[in-house]
Structure 1
Amino acid sequence: MNSRQMFLDQLRAGLKGLPRSVVEDILSEYTAHFDDGHTAGRSDSAIASALGDPARLARELRAEAGLRRWEDERSLSNALGAIVGVLGLAALDMLVVLPVLMTVASVDIAFFIAGGCICLAGSLLLPLALVNLIPGFEGDWLQGVLISLGMASGGASVVAVCVLFTLGIINLLVRYGRAHYRLIVRATPS
């Protein structure tokens, strides 16, 4: 088996899981690299070594595909795909980034859960306040209603801020991945 075919087979194996059309586009682009190299008088092994490790290249291309899906359609699955792609691309950087990311995600999830619980508690207290059944507020039903409405709206606000914060973190990870990808592309000889 020649260097060209080995390179393309390893690249195809690394791109498993991406849509077939995307894989075919990528493979045709790299086949064109080999064809252009042949036109310039270079050998398959020289072209393959200039393109770099196909497994690493596949990780970079998978990360880029995940980032594009996230930018095209903002959904939970695309966000997870973008995060996984960036994490796979920046394996060495994760020794520093992953602990920070896990801490930020844990705090975000904790605030999200707390906000949801406060909102739920306020919503459950509202009917009790309307019929004067909240202990300590037997004579003043309006005060109980206002406190329960305040809890529900405050909890909902915390949840909304957590969602916005999560989207901001995902966008930051996408930018980080793009910057990392651009640095690798510049460093890869052509």
Structure 2
Amino acid sequence: MTRNEFIRRLKAGLKGIPEADLADIVADYDAHFDAALAEGRSEAEVAEALGNPGRLARELRLEAGIRNWQSDRTPSSAWAAVLAFMGLATIDILILLPIVLPVLGVMFGLFVAVVAIFIAGGFVMIAGPFSGFPGGAFVAVFAGLGLMAAAVGAGALLTLVGIWVVNALMWFGRLHYRVIEPAIHPADPARA
């Protein structure tokens, strides 16, 4: 594989990341080619030593996703990090999917239930005093407020659990990368 083909495939795998990050990555791999060519190695040898550009792009996407998640803990950065992890761990997905999907499904169901309880609490608080709520108007108002407070507390706990799940996936992604990287690039001087 030539330098241009390697860089083209790497860029294709990194499509969608910020332009500045892409330029830095391409410059870094251009430097690898320049240094190796100065030592008398061919472009094909350098490309082989660097590895599969598609795989490198997935690893770099995971690292970028983890950095983005660590600096900006938003649902979109969490989703991007999880997708980058899934791109890297394509083989492990067969093992992780039966674990991750039910966890995400249960969490989504619990979030829906929390929203429903919050809405029900608001309904009890507003309509309860006028509908002959058992115990009277004050009981209806306080029961509604209690339901709404419980929903907010449960939502906060679910958010913390969601953050923990994303952090666990990112930890596994980094562990996965550290474990398989030596197998992909055993004692590779171009990676040093």
Q: Secondary structure at the match of 2:126?
A: helix
Deviation at 1:55, TM superposition (A): 1.1
Task: In structure 2, give the amino acid aligned to 1:105.
Answer: L
Superposed structure 1 runs of 4+ greater than 4 Å apart? none
Give me the whole-angstrom Cα distance separating, in 2, the residues matched to 1:184 and 1:178.
10
Match of 2:168 in 1: 172
What TM-score, normalized to structure 2? 0.89
Task: In structure 2, give the amino acid aligned to 1:46.
Answer: E
Is 1:99 the counterpart of 2:98? The answer is yes
Deviation at 1:134, TM superposition (A): 3.8
Aligned partners of 1:132 and 1:140 also within 8 Å: no
Task: In structure 1, give the amino acid aligned to 2:151.
Answer: G
Match of 2:140 in 1: 144
Match of 1:78 in 2: 77
Report the number of matched residues: 186
RMSD: 1.7
Identity %: 38
Deviations 1:7-39 (A, max 9, x none): 111111211111111111111111111122123
Q: Secondary structure at the match of 2:73?
A: coil
CA 148–95 in structure 1, closer or farther in 2 if over 3 Å, else same: same
Match of 2:124 in 1: 125
Q: Specify every segment of 5 or more residues in structure 2 that has no aligned partner in the other structure, as ranges.
A: none
Give me the whole-angstrom Cα distance separating, in 1, the residues matched to 2:36 and 2:173.
29
Deviation at 1:132, TM superposition (A): 4.7
Is 1:159 the counterpart of 2:155? The answer is yes
Give me the whole-angstrom Cα distance separating, in 1, the residues matched to 2:123 and 2:87.
44
Q: Specify every segment of 5 or more residues in structure 1 that has no aligned partner in the other structure, as ranges.
A: none
Deviation at 1:141, TM superposition (A): 2.8
Aligned partners of 1:112 and 1:162 also within 8 Å: yes
Q: Secondary structure at the match of 1:16?
A: coil
